[in-house]
Amino acid sequence: MNEKIAWYIPGPRPDSLEADADREDRAAGHIGLEEAIHSLGIRTAISEDLDSLRLLLSGGEPVLLLAELEEPGGWAGWEAVSEARKEGMILPVMVISGGAPGVKGEAAVSVFDAGGNEYMEKPVHTGEFKHRILNLLKLTGRRRDAASLLKVDGLLLDRGRRQVIRDGAELKMTPKEFDLLYYLAENLGEVCPRAEILQQVWGYHFQADTNVVDVYIRHLRLKVDKGRRNKLIHTVRGTGYVLRTPESGATS
Do 210 and 93 share a structural domain? Answer: no
**Residue where one domain finishes, among candidates 96, 122, 140:** 140
The structural domain count of the chain equals: 2
- Domain containing 87 — which CATH number? 3.40.50.2300
pTM to 2 decimal places: 0.57
**Residue where one domain finishes, among candidates 122, 140, 158:** 140
**Residue where one domain finishes, among candidates 79, 111, 140:** 140
In this prediction, residue 98 has a pLDDT band, given cuts at 50, 70 and 90, of confident
| Secondary structure of residue 57 in the 3-state scheme | helix
CA-CA-CA-CA dihedral for 47, 48, 54, 56, to nearest 10? -10
In tens, the pLDDT along 175-231 reads 999 999 999 999 999 999 999 999 999 887 656 677 899 999 999 999 999 999 999
Do 35 and 101 share a structural domain? Answer: yes
Task: Please state at what angle helix 20-38 crosses helix 126-140, rounded to 10 degrees.
Answer: 50
Do 157 and 114 share a structural domain? Answer: no
Beta bridge partners of 57: none
Do 231 and 184 share a structural domain? Answer: yes
What average pLDDT is seen over the chain? Answer: 86
In tens, the pLDDT along 52-93 reads 999 999 887 899 999 999 889 899 999 999 999 998 888 999
> Where does 38-104 show beta strands of DSSP type E?
43-47, 64-68, 93-97
| Secondary structure of residue 222 in the 3-state scheme | helix
- Domain containing 172 — which CATH number? 1.10.10.10
Do 171 and 88 share a structural domain? Answer: no
Q: Tell me the residue type at 56.
A: L
> Where does the chain show beta strands of DSSP type E?
4-8, 43-47, 64-68, 93-97, 118-121, 149-152, 155-158, 163-166, 169-171, 192-193, 233-236, 240-243
How far is it, in rounded angstroms, from Cα 234 to Cα 248? 12
**What distance, in Å, lies between the first and last C-alpha atoms of the chain?**
35
In this prediction, residue 31 has a pLDDT band, given cuts at 50, 70 and 90, of confident
CB 79 within 8 A of CB 106: no
How much is the pLDDT for 24? 57
Do 21 and 101 share a structural domain? Answer: yes
Do 212 and 187 share a structural domain? Answer: yes
Do 93 and 47 share a structural domain? Answer: yes
How much is the pLDDT for 250? 47
Domain limits for position 29:
4-140
Percent of the chain with pLDDT over 90: 55
How much is the pLDDT for 17? 47
How much is the pLDDT for 187? 92
Beta bridge partners of 150: 157
How much is the pLDDT for 142? 72
Do 136 and 152 share a structural domain? Answer: no
| Identity of the highest mean pLDDT range in 62-66, 98-102, 103-107, 147-151 | 62-66
Do 26 and 51 share a structural domain? Answer: yes
How far is it, in rounded angstroms, from Cα 212 to Cα 201? 11
Do 133 and 11 share a structural domain? Answer: yes
Q: Buried b vs exposed e over 29-66: b needs ≥16 C-beta within 10 Å?
A: beeebeebbeeeebebbebeeeeebbebbeeebbbbbb
Do 154 and 134 share a structural domain? Answer: no
In tens, the pLDDT along 133-181 reads 988 988 887 766 655 778 888 899 988 778 899 988 899 999 999 999 9
